[in-house]
Structure 1
Amino acid sequence: MTPLLIFTDLDGTLLDHHTYCFQPALAAMRSLKTFSIPCVINTSKTFVELIELRKALHHQDPFIVENGSAVYIPKHSALTLDETLEDCGDYWRKSFGPKRDELIELTNDKQEQYSFKRFIDMTWQELVSLTGLSETNAKQALQREFTEPMVWMDSNLALSVFRDDLAKFGVQVQKGGRFAHLMGEHCDKANAMLWLKAVYEQQSDEAITTMALGDGENDVGMLSKADIPVVIRSPVHAPPEIPNRCDAWLSDAYGPEGWAQAINRVLIQQGIL
């Protein structure tokens, strides 16, 4: 049996798009723990947001924050690391991009050309009304380290020009479920996934099969590089297309229910369940 490694998005995937509930996925998550299959969270959320959420999920595995900007590995993990990583309290951190301040500085003068609103320009109250997050969660979402989400209010054509403009500075713009995310050119859910997969493979005698689950445009890179790509159906937008991957699964159910169905399906296919 080939070792399995799961990478999952959160909003709209493991968490319900509207309510952020994960209850329908809990039984499948317990199955992964039972069979010692790591489930790596790979999200646009911040480190601060994930600390509380991981407690609620009883999550013990590594996690990836801010759209692939950094990987956090718990120090209690059995993983051995070849390279020196940043010491962040209970975690080792591998970061892939520039700090948030550089992104803010770079876009300060762009608001005259384009119509957008960045997190730095918002109050937590505005973020609550946009997302339905609680006050605590909204305040945590504003505490970013490597990326700057923004509400894009201009045309798709303007977004394309904006992307080209920032590319000259080594910055990319990725479209998520709700926001467009500014980040370093090497910050990518796929890059972070492949780096962490290599770390796991160093501990294993066998090749590892990766399964990735996501629902948004910013998951496409991760899905396209996974051995088993799973698109989770969304109640608010069409499923993203995964280029050159006619083998991608599309869940029947939305959010965490679809997530659980996909996990159970792969466990049965792999002869684990």
Structure 2
Amino acid sequence: MGSNIIFTDLDGTFIDFKTYSPGVAAPIARDIVDRGVPVIFCSSKTLEEQRALMNSIGLAVPCIVENGAGIFLPDSLRILDDLPAAKVTSGGRLITLGERSEYIRLQIRAVSESLGLELKPYHEFSDSDVSRITGLDEEGARRARNRDFSETLTAAFEPEIWSNVNAALQPLGLHCLSGGRFHTVTSIDCNKGRALKIVVDGFESTTGDRWQSIGIGDSANDFDMLKSVDHPYLVQTPSGNWNDMNVASLKRISAIGPKGWVLAVQDALGLASV
């Protein structure tokens, strides 16, 4: 298959938007990893959330966490050894690219007060509250709230209001991105595209090969990822439409979530349909 590397969003792409299940995507992911194609999760989800998903489907892969604010590398993958990283208790290394969540929460509170808006960040809710809001079980909600470099906002506003929120966050070194369900606040210089370029550079520096990057997403939150890869794919949203996105060479897949993910992988790697 050559030197291909796949970066994938999770919610609404690799896993179903409502059920959080990877369904048909899981066995295909295991198969291509077994064939030597790296699969990198690239999501607003926390490290704990992403590792729980890996464990549930029998995968141990690198991941970009919290919208590009951190990069997790398993102990078995020796790339980017020159970058400072913290050891993870359960194994692996976590490279920090963004501000810590404590700073971000303080600034969210300040912006909320200055704009007179209830932004409804995760940290103001209990695990049971987040479970009710998201449909996650309480353990999943706890993992979602355990953020290192970002904060999730659950408020529902018109785009104009979110533009005002972003304008207030930017002088503080932060920005707010819309995902498939909520908005996530991270450092302004952190995004999925920057993080994936660091990962690709790590693979190329270690192997001496040129790696072809493949990106699969579904929402505006994936724009930086998709514009940064060699081969970008966009699956349909649960409504059966595609997110409005201007990315060169973007391939739009006529399927939703995990089913679209499988079709994108088959197209990118030249696999027979299953």
Q: Structure 2-normalised TM-score?
A: 0.92
Q: Is 2:151–2:186's contact at 8 Å kept on the other side of the alignment?
A: yes
Cα separation, 1, equivalents of 2:147 and 2:80: 28
Which structure is richer in relative contact order (CA contacts within 8 A, separation 6 or more)?
1
- Other-structure match for 1:265: 267
Within-5 A mapping of 1:113-152: 113-152=116-155
> Could you tell which deviates more after superposition, 189-198 or 43-52?
43-52
Cα separation, 1, equivalents of 2:131 and 2:215: 29
Q: Is 1:220–1:241's contact at 8 Å kept on the other side of the alignment?
A: no
The amino acid of 1:67's aligned partner reads N
Q: Is 1:114–1:154's contact at 8 Å kept on the other side of the alignment?
A: no
Of 242, 252, 256 in structure 2, the residue corresponding to residue 250 of structure 1 is 252
Cα separation, 2, equivalents of 1:210 and 1:243: 18
Within-5 A mapping of 1:30-179: 30-79=30-79, 81-89=81-89, 90-112=91-113, 113-179=116-182
How far apart are 1:158 and its partner, in Å? 2.0
How far apart are 1:37 and its partner, in Å? 0.2
Cα separation, 1, equivalents of 2:160 and 2:212: 38
The amino acid of 2:92's aligned partner reads Y
Q: CA 1:80–1:221 in structure 2 vs 1: closer, same or farther (change >3 Å)? A: closer
Cα separation, 2, equivalents of 1:123 and 1:41: 27
- Other-structure match for 1:3: 3
The amino acid of 1:14's aligned partner reads F
How far apart are 1:110 and its partner, in Å? 3.0
Secondary structure of the structure 1 residue equivalent to 2:243: coil
Cα separation, 1, equivalents of 2:186 and 2:36: 33
Cα separation, 2, equivalents of 1:264 and 1:26: 14
Q: Is 1:13–1:215's contact at 8 Å kept on the other side of the alignment?
A: yes
Q: Is 1:2–1:207's contact at 8 Å kept on the other side of the alignment?
A: no
> Could you tell which deviates more after superposition, 215-224 or 55-64?
55-64
> Could you tell which deviates more after superposition, 61-70 or 147-156?
147-156
Cα separation, 1, equivalents of 2:190 and 2:125: 24
Deviations 1:58-77 (A, max 9, x none): 22221111111100111122
Cα separation, 2, equivalents of 1:237 and 1:182: 27
How far apart are 1:236 and its partner, in Å? 3.9
Q: Is 1:79–1:199's contact at 8 Å kept on the other side of the alignment?
A: yes
Q: Is 1:233–1:239's contact at 8 Å kept on the other side of the alignment?
A: yes
Cα separation, 1, equivalents of 2:212 and 2:73: 20
How far apart are 1:87 and its partner, in Å? 2.3
How far apart are 1:94 and its partner, in Å? 1.2
The amino acid of 1:128's aligned partner reads S
Q: Is 1:71–1:192's contact at 8 Å kept on the other side of the alignment?
A: yes
Deviations 1:44-86 (A, max 9, x none): 1111112221111222221111111100111122436233322
Q: Which 5+ residue runs of structure 2 have no aligned equivalent?
A: none
How far apart are 1:237 and its partner, in Å? 7.4
How large is the RMSD of aligned CA atoms in angstroms?
1.9
Secondary structure of the structure 1 residue equivalent to 2:253: strand
Within-5 A mapping of 1:202-213: 202-213=205-216
Percent of aligned pairs sharing the same letter = 25
Cα separation, 2, equivalents of 1:156 and 1:242: 16
Q: Which 5+ residue runs of structure 1 have no aligned equivalent?
A: none
How far apart are 1:138 and its partner, in Å? 0.8
Q: CA 1:74–1:244 in structure 2 vs 1: closer, same or farther (change >3 Å)? A: closer
